[in-house]
Amino acid sequence: MIDFLESALPGAVAGGLLAWIFRNWISERLKQSISHEYSTKLENLRSELGAKLEAVKHVHEVDQLRTSLFFDHQRSAFGEILAKIVEVQQEWDKVIDPEEGMEDPVPPVPRRELEALYLKHQLFLDSDLIMALELLFEIYRESWPWSDGMETHRRDVRGPYSDAEYLQPRLAAVFRLKIGVGQDDLALRQLALLGAIRMLNHFHFPDVGVPVRGELRLKKDDRAAMAINRAEENVVELLEKMHAFHRHLQAQGHFYEAEASLRRYLSVLDGASRRQASQEGVAA
């Protein structure tokens, strides 16, 4: 019996050793296989991620180029428009002199050239700039002669001339604001106040109390600066009336140009009111 155990023991040890070696070999092979599989997947993920990053980088570079080209063209457009506004006013200077009896409307040639520039570059003008230029064109039109069907009547052009002259530096300030070389938005607010109070005085919608009466009512000889002061001093009433007027035009559904103008004025004035309220809240 002892002899049998002595002869069997080395075989059992050898078998156990072989089994251990086999298990280790299998385990190592599994580890290598799994490691290879993960390495392959990781490399594939890296390749996919690299391709995606390159695609995103390309899109970003294209967007930067488009943005750069847009702003380059925008600055060029602003320069052309502002230069033409100055030219219109300079040409008007030559034909208006009450003392000499020279009171002609805005010169038609440079005014038409300005309108052509406006249409050409309208893609590069945001809502605020469209608001400002449409207000200027509206003032220009107030200098034109008018016809009653029988004869043509001249207007007193001194008011429109004075208002256009008042608008010129403020338009320049708004353009500077839009290209980031100015931070003061007072000029933009002044233009919105002027446009808003003019709308409330010039349109006829009795259902909503337009034209307005009371403190917001403009006199015939009230010029731009006085109109802006009157609007600013009664800005709460102005905004309430403008919102009521806006709702009325929306309900009517077919006064598109007037509704668009009104919406632009409200966008500026409501935005300014929210910023002021936020600043006051922070200060408190």
**Could you read off the pLDDT of 126-148 as tens digits, one per residue?**
999 999 999 999 999 999 998 88
The answer to whether residue 283 scores a pLDDT higher than 50 is no
The answer to whether residue 232 scores a pLDDT higher than 80 is yes
Cβ-count burial of 259 within 10 angstroms (0-12 exposed, 13-18 middle, 19+ buried)? middle
- The closest alpha carbon to 136, from 178, 80, 195, belongs to 195
Task: Read off the pLDDT of each residue in 195-218 and give the average, rounded to a whole number.
Answer: 96
pLDDT tens-digit profile of 156-199?
999 999 999 999 999 999 999 998 887 779 999 999 999 999 99
* Same domain assignment for residues 178 and 278: no
Amino acid 282: pLDDT: 47
Domain count, the chain: 2
In a domain, 54, yes or no: no
In a domain, 88, yes or no: yes
In a domain, 11, yes or no: no
Torsion of CA 85, 144, 131, 197, to 10 degrees: 130
Amino acid 16: pLDDT: 63
Amino acid 245: pLDDT: 96
Amino acid 153: pLDDT: 87
Distance CA(85)–CA(79), nearest Å, equals 10
Amino acid 34: pLDDT: 73
> Could you tell me if 191 and 135 are in contact, meaning their C-beta atoms sit under 8 angstroms apart?
yes
The answer to whether residue 118 scores a pLDDT higher than 60 is yes
How does residue 275 score in pLDDT terms, banded at 50, 70 and 90? low
pLDDT tens-digit profile of 58-95?
454 544 544 555 677 788 889 999 999 999 999 999 99
In a domain, 80, yes or no: yes
Distance CA(133)–CA(126), nearest Å, equals 11
Amino acid 57: pLDDT: 54
The answer to whether residue 107 scores a pLDDT higher than 60 is yes
* Same domain assignment for residues 169 and 203: no
* Same domain assignment for residues 135 and 191: no
pLDDT tens-digit profile of 248-257?
999 988 899 9
Query: Which structural domain, as residue segments, surrounds residue 173?
Result: 73-144+154-182
* Same domain assignment for residues 132 and 218: no
Amino acid 55: pLDDT: 61
**pTM value?**
0.74
pLDDT tens-digit profile of 6-44?
554 555 555 666 666 667 767 777 667 676 666 777 677
In a domain, 214, yes or no: yes
